[in-house]
């Protein structure tokens, strides 16, 4: 167990360095000279050259990369090309907080609806409740965010007029409801199906039969023997669902006008603001890698039977 964790911990920084290198190279060799964009149409070759020198853009790419990595380790993510005199860390910091709140709200929706629904349908296996729920969740799973966003906007925002359409007011504002629903709906479907499948698996295990045979009350059997074991696979998917949340946030944030990292990414993409894109890719990749590391290691504490 120790060896596995050490191997994973040693590989993680290497992985992040490779990720940073690839993004950095793509950004550097991308089209459109960022310094010329910075200057607008009145660019003066001399000034361009000076800015290039100031920012170290005239040096060898690998030297630039080395400098970048060193700065990142010191918490300096560089300066935005577009918003002058504002550091990338400053720009991203506030927006990550917004996106994190939105992601949290969406996760709460998926877990709070998905897990109970999955447990319930597993208990009712084979009945019409089970069959209907399974087909409905499959339908919701196939709905991409770019479909649910306009449809929800139309029905709840414009036709029924019960929810506000756009903007952001923090976690405890009604404006969070619709984007969180849009992001959370596919998650509800995934969680329901997963919980149902793993519960069905657990229900047929010997230890459940033993627990019932020794006369344990149904509540204790369900809580201690069924619930605990059926939630282990669900736990792993919570880590993976981070990826879906991030991808969904690009479109959701654009539709609902939320100032999070998704809309920042698109904005910087159009203005070729590479320091921001590189930093975003790096931060999100680091979040993925760390989340999966935690899940993989945490898994073994939840289920001591797992050996690598």
Partner 1 sequence: MEARGARSGSLWTQALRRLLRKKIAVACIVVIAVMYLAGIFTIFRSPTPYGFNDQNIRAEAVKQGPSLSHPFGTDRLGRDLLTRVIYGLRTTVIITIAAMLTGSLFLGIGLGLISGYFGRWADSIIMRVGEVFLAFPGLLLVILIAATVKPRVKDWVEGWAPSLESFTGIDIIQLGIVDYVVIFGALAAFSWVGMARLVRGQVLYVKQSQYVEAAIAMGASTPRILVSHVLPNIISPVIVVVSIGMGATAGSEIILSWLGIGIQPPTPSLGVMIFENGNISVLRTDPHLILFPVLTITVLIFAFNLLGDALNDALNPRTR
Q: How far is the CB of 219 from partner 1 (least distance, A)?
A: 31
Residue closer to partner 1 (CB basis): 132 or 166: 166
Please tell me whether residue 19 binds partner 1 under the rule CB under 8 A.
yes
Task: Select the residue interacting with partner 1 from 241, 250, 263, 264 (CB under 8 A).
Answer: 250
What is the rounded distance in angstroms from the CA atom of residue 265 to the CA atom of residue 90?
15
What is the rounded distance in angstroms from the CA atom of residue 256 to the CA atom of residue 118?
30
Please tell me whether residue 139 binds partner 1 under the rule CB under 8 A.
yes
Please tell me whether residue 158 binds partner 1 under the rule CB under 8 A.
yes
Contacts of 161 (CB under 8 A, 6+ apart): none
Please tell me whether residue 61 binds partner 1 under the rule CB under 8 A.
no
Q: Which two tokens stand for residue 11?
A: 């590989």
Torsion 251-254-257-263 (CA) sign: positive
- DSSP helix/strand/coil, 87: strand
Please tell me whether residue 31 binds partner 1 under the rule CB under 8 A.
yes
Please tell me whether residue 264 binds partner 1 under the rule CB under 8 A.
no
Contacts within 8 Å (CB) and 24+ apart, 7-15: 8/293, 8/296, 8/297, 9/293, 12/289, 12/290, 12/293, 15/289
Please tell me whether residue 188 binds partner 1 under the rule CB under 8 A.
no
Please tell me whether residue 126 binds partner 1 under the rule CB under 8 A.
no
For the chain, what is the radius of gyration of the CA atoms?
Answer: 24
What is the rounded distance in angstroms from the CA atom of residue 173 to the CA atom of residue 40?
39
Segment lying near partner 1 (by CB under 8 A), choices 49-57, 68-76, 104-112, 278-286:
278-286
Task: Select the residue interacting with partner 1 from 1, 6, 13, 30 (CB under 8 A).
Answer: 30
* Residue 59 Cα distances to 46, 211, 270, 276, angstroms: 17, 69, 25, 20
The DSSP symbol for 83 reads S
Task: Select the residue interacting with partner 1 from 35, 216, 285, 297 (CB under 8 A).
Answer: 285
Contact in structure between 92 and 264 (CB atoms under 8 Å) = yes
Task: Select the residue interacting with partner 1 from 48, 69, 141, 295 (CB under 8 A).
Answer: 141
Enumerate residues 68-107 that contact partner 1 by CB under 8 A.
none
Task: Select the residue interacting with partner 1 from 116, 150, 167, 298 (CB under 8 A).
Answer: 150
Residue closer to partner 1 (CB basis): 160 or 213: 160
Which spans of this chain sit near partner 1 (rule: CB under 8 A)? 11, 15-16, 18-19, 22-23, 26-27, 29-31, 138-139, 141-144, 146-147, 149-151, 153-154, 158, 165-166, 243, 246-247, 250-251, 255, 265-266, 269, 272, 277, 280-281, 284-285, 288-289
């Amino acid at each position: 167990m120790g060896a596995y964790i050490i191997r994973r911990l040693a590989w993680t920084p290497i992985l992040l360095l490779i990720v940073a290198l690839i993004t950095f190279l793509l950004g550097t060799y991308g089209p459109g000279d960022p310094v010329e964009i910075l200057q607008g149409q009145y660019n003066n070759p001399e000034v361009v050259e000076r800015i290039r020198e100031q920012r170290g853009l005239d040096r060898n790419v690998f030297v630039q990369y080395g400098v970048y990595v060193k700065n990142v380790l010191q918490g300096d993510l560089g300066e935005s090309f577009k918003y002058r005199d504002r550091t990338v860390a400053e720009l991203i910091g506030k927006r990550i907080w917004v996106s994190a709140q939105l992601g949290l709200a969406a996760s709460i929706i998926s877990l709070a609806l998905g897990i109970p629904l999955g447990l319930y349908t597993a208990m009712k296996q084979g009945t019409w409740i089970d069959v209907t729920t399974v087909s409905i969740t499959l339908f919701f799973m196939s709905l991409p965010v770019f479909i649910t966003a306009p449809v929800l906007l139309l029905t709840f925002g414009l036709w029924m007029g019960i929810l506000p359409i756009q903007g952001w007011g923090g976690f405890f504002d009604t404006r969070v409801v619709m984007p969180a629903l849009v992001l959370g709906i596919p998650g509800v479907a995934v969680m329901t199906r997963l919980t149902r499948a793993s519960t069905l698996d657990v229900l047929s295990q010997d230890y459940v039969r033993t627990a019932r045979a020794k006369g344990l009350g149904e509540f204790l059997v369900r809580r201690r023997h069924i619930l605990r074991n059926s939630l282990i696979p669900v736990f792993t998917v919570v880590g993976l669902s981070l990826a879906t949340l991030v991808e969904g946030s690009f479109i959701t944030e654009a539709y609902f006008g939320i100032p999070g990292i998704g809309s920042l990414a698109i904005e910087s993409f159009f203005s070729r603001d590479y320091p921001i894109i590189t930093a975003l890719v790096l931060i999100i990749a680091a979040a993925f890698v760390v989340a999966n590391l935690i899940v993989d290691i945490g898994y073994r504490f939840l289920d001591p039977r797992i050996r690598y």
